[in-house]
Chains A and B, each alone.
Chain A
């Protein structure tokens, strides 16, 4: 598993402190991050692939600074956003998945073959030539995940990927993450999705208030909200 390290990370947006003195090393395969709205969990997730640079401190993935070495980090770290509509950039399903491989050095037939394989894996092969905006919410999120996985990242960071989905699609996406061989960092409000996770970090007002097994962490989080 990759080593994701937050060292003395402090982050503010204007005068608002979003993350305060974060010191964490994440090496487990399934890591959950939970917290109320505004607790800093999305900001923390976005630091892992270099989308956000901490105001002070550093975030590294296997020793690579996620902001200074963003290119190398993003080859290893795939990111799944909450709203797949913002992540899908091409007009059709197959084109969007293939877009991820445009700089892979693979030939066109190889890209087409890998795209077909991935679409079959996610049960989207029948929609290969369909316009992306006509997919259901669950299908769009699967497409977004497929487009990330086709590049073969070591780590998947998912920022509340089930927030916009109904229960059935949430479970489908969650089952997908549960079965992945890649290291997964999942930001979520849905505590039931954390079953079987190796570690759960609970954030509140930018600070870690609990960090450990899912049961203990969820317990802390529930007491915090009470």
Chain B
């Protein structure tokens, strides 16, 4: 089961900071990382972010799970940069990518979805006059987070069903059943949302 981007309950300082300040801090942190010009500056940023994970008492395996999915991207980008720009550039690009994802993960892990949605709705409320529905936007964000593990489970079950029938891995063959099941789940979830009064 994925633990990507899920709130980890806690009572640390980071958990108690309001979502708005954390998102602002994340934005400033990402800007600082992108503006870094030397590996040691990235090193300092990495230490600060690691300290953030420690302060929030995020288990190491959870922190690692946020970054592990980046491995292939980092490998590809790193090799490309190494070949065409040199080792220092490879370290800068890969390091920046890793640290910015870690910053975003730290905010997600220490902020309840409802706090993020409330903030989103507050920020978008001036746009109501232009036809934007902040409640609806907030719900879409929450559903997106909720559906990630659902989709992962659907793909896993389709893959297992294929293995059980003795067939090998085939992205094309898996895509059909996975998409059909995902659409059915979306349809059913739509009914459930209506039943829970979302459109009322």
Identify the A interface with B (CB < 8 A).
46, 49-51, 70-71, 74-75, 78-79, 81, 83, 85-92, 95, 98-100, 102-103, 128-134, 147-148, 151
Q: Is the CB of B185 within 8 A of A89?
A: no
A85-B113 contact in complex given A74-B200, A133-B1, A134-B1, C-beta closer than 8 Å? no
Report whether B146 and A90 are in contact in the complex, using a CB–CB cutoff of 8 Å.
yes
Within the assembled complex, what's the spacing in Å between the Cα atoms of A147 and B195? 11
Number of interface residues of B (CB under 8 A): 28
* Contact pick for B194, options A51, A91, A130, A133, CB 8 Å: A51
B102 to chain A, nearest CB (A): 20
Q: Cβ of B1 and Cβ of A87 under 8 Å apart?
A: no
Residue pair B195, A75 in contact (C-beta under 8 Å)? no
Binding site for A on B (CB under 8 A): 1, 3, 6-7, 9, 112-114, 135, 139, 142-143, 145-146, 149-150, 153, 185, 188-189, 191-197, 200
Cα A68 to Cα B182 with chains together (Å):
30
Minimum CB–CB distance for B136 against chain A, Å: 12
Q: A81-B191, A85-B150, A133-B149 are in contact. Are A92 and B7 (CB under 8 A)?
A: yes
Taking a contact as CB atoms under 8 Å apart, the answer to whether B188 and A89 are in contact is: no
Partner of A89, one of B3, B6, B114, B193: B193
Interchain residue pairs with CB less than 8 A apart (19): A51-B191, A70-B200, A75-B200, A79-B192, A81-B195, A85-B185, A86-B189, A87-B196, A89-B139, A89-B142, A90-B114, A91-B7, A91-B142, A92-B6, A95-B114, A95-B142, A131-B3, A133-B149, A134-B1
Closest beta carbon of chain B to A92's beta carbon, Å: 6
A147 and B196 contact, CB distance less than 8 A = yes
| Residue of A51, A79, A89, A147 touching B146 (CB-CB under 8 A) | A89
- Complex Cα distance, B152 from A134, in Å, reads 13
- Cα(A115)–Cα(B26), bound, Å: 30
Q: Please state if A74 and B185 are interface contacts (CB–CB under 8 Å).
A: no
Are A89 and B189 in touch, CB under 8 angstroms?
yes
Selected from A70, A87, A129, the residue in CB contact (under 8 A) with B9 is A129
Is the beta-carbon distance between B196 and A89 smaller than 8 angstroms? Answer: yes
| Chain A to chain B: the 5 pairs with minimum beta-carbon distance, closest first | A129-B9, A86-B188, A71-B200, A133-B149, A79-B195
Closest-CB distance, B188 to chain A (whole angstroms): 4
Other A-B pairs beyond A74-B200, A75-B200, A103-B197, 15, CB < 8 Å: A49-B195, A81-B188, A85-B185, A86-B188, A87-B195, A89-B143, A89-B146, A89-B192, A90-B113, A91-B113, A91-B142, A91-B146, A131-B6, A133-B153, A134-B1
Residues on A with beta carbons closer than 8 Å to the beta carbon of B143: 89
Closest beta carbon of chain B to A52's beta carbon, Å: 9
- The complex places the Cα of A63 from the Cα of B145 at a distance, in Å, of 39
DSSP class of B's interface residues: helix, strand, loop or mixed?
helix
Task: Enumerate chain B residues within 8 angstroms of A50, measured Cβ to Cβ.
Answer: 194
Query: Bound state CA distance, A128 and B150, in angstroms?
Result: 19
B194 cross-chain contacts in A, Cβ below 8 A: 50-51, 74
CB distance from A31 to the nearest CB of B (A): 18
Closest beta carbon of chain A to B118's beta carbon, Å: 9
CA distance A87 to B145 in the complex (A): 15
Q: Complex formed: what's the CA distance from A148 to B196 in Å?
A: 8
Closest to B188 in A: A86
CB neighbours of A100 from chain B (8 A) = 196
Q: Which residues of B contact A78 (CB under 8 A)?
A: 195
B1 contact set on A, CB distance < 8 A: 133-134
Residues of A within 8 A of B195 (CB): 49, 51, 74, 78-79, 81, 87
Is there contact, CB below 8 Å, between B7 and A129? Answer: yes
- Contact residues in A for B139 (Cβ distance below 8 Å): 89
Complex CA–CA separation, A84 to B46 (angstroms): 41
In the complex formed, the residue of A with least CB distance to B197 is: A74
